[in-house]
Amino acid sequence: MNQPNRLMHVLCKNNRSPDGSSSMTGSILTIRQSSIQTPFNRDLSHTSLSEAWGCETVDETADRNWFYSPYETTANVEQYNYKPTSFTPKNTSRQDGLYNTAELLNLVNGNLRWSDYVDYTERDVVLKDEKSCGLNYVLLRNRDLDGDDIVDVEELHWYITSLEQIFALFIGDQGLSVEAQLYPQAVGNLPNALLDVPTGHPLRGVYQWRWHYVTSTADGQTAGNVPVQVWAEEGISTSQYAQNWAKEAVPKVRCARNLGMASPSSQAGDATYIGTAGNNFPKDELVVVTETTGTENANSIYRFDLRNLNKESRRLAFTSQGLIPGDEYSLQSRVYEGFETGGWYGLTYEANNNGWLQAYPMRIYTPLSANEAPIVDGTFPDGWRIANIRELAIFFQYCNDNNEWWGGANYLPSNFYSFGTYGNSYDGNVNTWFVSRGGITMTMSDGDVFRVRAVRDWVPGT
């Protein structure tokens, strides 16, 4: 896992420099194998992990006319089933991507045939349908292991990642190869220009730095099984797939597979029965909620243990001070090995003064003049600070069922957006994120309530 690409040269010739310090290999055929990439802690001294998951290195559907369902068209974006109107998938797990994918394929009750979608008569395994979609994407990565032409549950090793798994790739991005990162910084350094594709190409008119990942998780808030998509250029913003107001972007999808786990089972009662969400998700989670004190209400205190996260993606030094604002790539946007939540604080600003609110990230540490209101109502206790964007993303995923704790508010991080006013200004006037129980966005509406949440570093086990 997380190793450099493995190369095999066929009919090759090696040339070495006279001093023996360098060499060059030429070959008739070169085969490259990419390693599975995981956001988990790979340190050999970290022995508590027995199960995990990893993802593929690259998205092989790049530059394709990607659709979520083979029955979806641009004129019919409400049809997300993998069989037209024959069933309604229950792919609502925020966590278990394997369960979601099996639901989308209707593997528990259906009899999907490999030969309906995949042509094995060619030299290479190819799709029968030119339209690239989630179903085809999964089938290309799995095989008919018993040769009966039925897509069996036990043959589903690769699956479309869930919302939690995409979040994990964002939180643990520094431990992945550059190719495998959801949004490599090199993409953000591209010119603010449209993709150079011919007229009629499905990605004509799309800015080359906008990437949106489609997950296997339905949003659970609307009729049907409309999936959640993550706007990678905005770090971790969310929306419904094909949302009418969604900005045009390069469509992306990422497949994953479980590591150190038994294959899923079609037999009810088995420990890995595919019909129950969570049965096929690793018991060793990337983020472990180790303690919740108080009742499930606005006063709950959550503690998060992140020792299962790779060290490259963590701040290694404990701090009891505030984190100076940086963008989502900065050290200040990473997590420590553990942290806990405190209370929330309302923002003091003119209700209609959106300019003040948009200037918020840099105002945290900007001295206020005598006639200006403080940044928050009240004073943070010593040792506490404003949560950063990755900490807020963890709240969104792991505290989502505690409605009272959120209080119907939008929470702002201590970071600014790299494409916003304080970054390269590609993305208009937006500057930071608004994280609520319902989603993560960079837009605001009249009447929205804005707060910040206090957190502090915590050493797990103490």
334-337 own/partner pairs: CB under 8 Å, 24+ apart: 334/174, 334/388, 334/390, 335/171, 335/304, 335/306, 335/309, 335/388, 335/390, 335/391, 335/394, 336/306, 336/457, 336/458, 337/305, 337/306, 337/307, 337/309, 337/459, 337/460
Q: What is the pLDDT of residue 10?
A: 75
- 41 within some domain: no
- Helical pair 97-104 and 134-141, crossing angle rounded to 10 deg: 110
Say how many domains are in the chain. 3
CB atoms within 10 A of CB 122: 8
Tell me, yes or no, whether 293 and 322 share the same domain.
yes
- 276 within some domain: no
Q: What is the pLDDT of residue 34?
A: 79
| DSSP per-residue letters across 223-276 | SS-PEEEEEGGGSSEEEETT-TTPPP-EEE--EEEEES-PPPBSSTTSTTBTTS
| 363 exposure class (CB count in 10 Å sphere: 0-12, 13-18, 19+) | middle
Tell me, yes or no, whether 238 and 297 share the same domain.
no
Q: What is the pLDDT of residue 141?
A: 87
Among residues 215, 240, 259, the one where a domain terminates is 259
Q: What is the pLDDT of residue 185?
A: 84
Tell me, yes or no, whether 9 and 104 share the same domain.
no
Tell me, yes or no, whether 182 and 96 share the same domain.
yes
Return d(Cα 199, Cα 440) in angstroms, integer: 34
- 277 within some domain: no
Q: What is the pLDDT of residue 374?
A: 47
Decide: 257 and 157 in contact? Cβ < 8 Å: yes
**What does the CA dihedral 311, 316, 318, 323 come to, rounded to 10 degrees?**
-100
Tell me, yes or no, whether 94 and 9 share the same domain.
no
Tell me, yes or no, whether 188 and 142 share the same domain.
yes
Tell me, yes or no, whether 118 and 83 share the same domain.
yes
Tell me which H or E stretch contains 395.
helix 389-398
- Helical pair 163-171 and 389-398, crossing angle rounded to 10 deg: 160
Q: What is the pLDDT of residue 242?
A: 67
From first to last of its 462 residues, the chain has per-residue pLDDT tens of 777 777 776 777 778 888 878 877 777 777 777 789 999 999 888 888 889 999 998 877 665 666 666 566 554 444 455 554 556 678 889 999 999 999 888 887 777 888 877 776 655 555 555 555 677 778 888 988 998 988 999 999 999 999 999 999 999 999 999 989 999 888 888 888 888 888 877 677 888 888 889 899 987 665 556 788 899 999 899 988 765 445 578 778 899 999 999 999 999 999 999 999 999 999 889 999 887 766 556 778 999 999 999 999 999 999 988 888 789 999 999 999 999 998 888 775 544 445 555 556 555 555 444 444 445 555 677 888 889 999 999 999 999 888 889 999 889 898 888 887 777 888 877 788 889 998 998 877 666 778 888 899 999 988
- 376 within some domain: yes
Tell me, yes or no, whether 91 and 229 share the same domain.
yes
Tell me the three state secondary structure of residue 194.
Answer: strand
- 193 within some domain: yes
Tell me which H or E stretch contains 138.
helix 134-141
- 345 within some domain: yes
Q: What is the pLDDT of residue 83?
A: 52
Tell me, yes or no, whether 312 and 254 share the same domain.
no
- 44 within some domain: no
Return d(Cα 387, Cα 435) in angstroms, integer: 11
Tell me, yes or no, whether 8 and 154 share the same domain.
no
Tell me, yes or no, whether 27 and 72 share the same domain.
no
Decide: 47 and 24 in contact? Cβ < 8 Å: no
The domain of 27 spans 1-33
- 39 within some domain: no
Tell me, yes or no, whether 157 and 67 share the same domain.
yes
